Amino acid sequence: MLVTLFTVGIGALMMVLAGFFDSKVKTGSDTRHSRNSPETAALTRGTIRRIHRPRQETAVGTIRAVYEAVVASKLLARVEEVRVKAGQDVKQGEVLVVLENADLKSRIEQALASERAAKSRYDQAELDQGRTDRLRVRGSATQGELDQANTSFKTAKAELERAKRMVEEARILEDYATVRAPISGRVIDKRVNAGDTVNQGQPLVTMYDPSRMQLIATVRESLALRLKVGQELEAKIDTLGYDCHATISEIVPEAQAESRSFQVKVTGPCPPDIYSGMFGRIFIPLEDEEVLVVPEEAIRKVGQLDEVDVIDGSSVSRRSVQLGRTLDEGREVLSGLSEGEKVVLPGEVEIKTRGGRP
């Protein structure tokens, strides 16, 4: 008996906690009020309306610069000086990094010495050619000697040209020791310090042009096919709370296999404090949607339920409804009301339901 009583008690307790003995109000159910026509006519009424709203879908992306530059070394050398730091603005041609160039200066001197030697041989070959040519005219030199003199002159001339090119090459290599900014912009990061040894192709400084920024968004296939280059979209940078109109500048014609989406690049006016890598989003327009709305002031909150007073002819009924989003025109109605129905707005006398329940 004790076990049975214990089991029954536990079951009763669970039924009480579950609300088994409480009355339930279903969505859309009515509680009728007896009202005569004059009183009902005096009520302030609101109408359940069906509105058309533009529908949008959001695509998130990342802010990137249109023009980015990774400045790399063209030499194997030691870093003598780094003249920039992260966040610094530089102009095109400004010196960023200076590399050691002692061996390059020595190479220039060697090239200049070779050029001088080649110039001497060229001058001598030119004199020999002129002398042999005059002797040939007088018959004192053979045709073979003249041909040899001409060949020597041409060889000396070619060697002089090669020596000049070697000097130019040495000067160009020396110029590589002074790394300059390829564009005007802002330094993102410096990747070396004074005293480091860098290899050919090793990045030294990363920079971008802050005046031309773009948002690269990932858009799913079905939406990307609706877009075209030159189309204007609404965009937002959440961190700065900045809204703008952006223009599609590029749609990468290749879908990402993992996400089945396309990269869409948009550009537009940017706020002054925008940085590469920040979060942003674009809004892609879709077809308009139909939404049923009820005035916000007509809604009453009773516990977890939303209720409205619906006017039906000469009577008023309390009805539980299911609501959705909060819009500028009112609250979205998911169920419980129909288009054209009238609801009571606040400021009226208290309505008594049957049984005295307010």
DSSP string, 257-272: TTTTEEEEEEE----T
For the chain, the average pLDDT equals 83
pLDDT at 52: 85
How far apart are alpha carbons 55 and 64 in whole angstroms?
Answer: 27
Q: What's the average model confidence in pLDDT over 276-298?
A: 87
Residue 152, phi then psi, degrees to nearest 5: -65, -40
CATH number, residue 35: 2.40.420.20
Res. 16 pLDDT band, cuts 50 70 90? low
pLDDT at 18: 64
- Is there a domain that residue 148 lies in? yes
Q: What's the average model confidence in pLDDT over 239-252?
A: 86
Name beta bridge partners: 292: 50
* Range(s) of the domain holding residue 275: 59-68+207-285
pTM (two decimals):
0.58
**Of 156, 176, 196, which residue is a domain's last?**
176
Residue 269 makes CB contacts below 8 A (sequence gap 6+) with 244
- Is there a domain that residue 16 lies in? no
How far apart are alpha carbons 133 and 150 in whole angstroms?
Answer: 9
**Across 27-31, 56-60, 102-106, least confident range:** 27-31
pLDDT at 349: 41
329 and 351 housed in the same domain: yes
Centroid of chain to Cα 128: 71
Centroid of chain to Cα 331: 34
- Is there a domain that residue 193 lies in? no
pLDDT at 178: 92
**Of 285, 303, 326, which residue is a domain's last?**
285
Which structure tokens are listed for 270? 């940017």
Residue 112, phi then psi, degrees to nearest 5: -65, -40
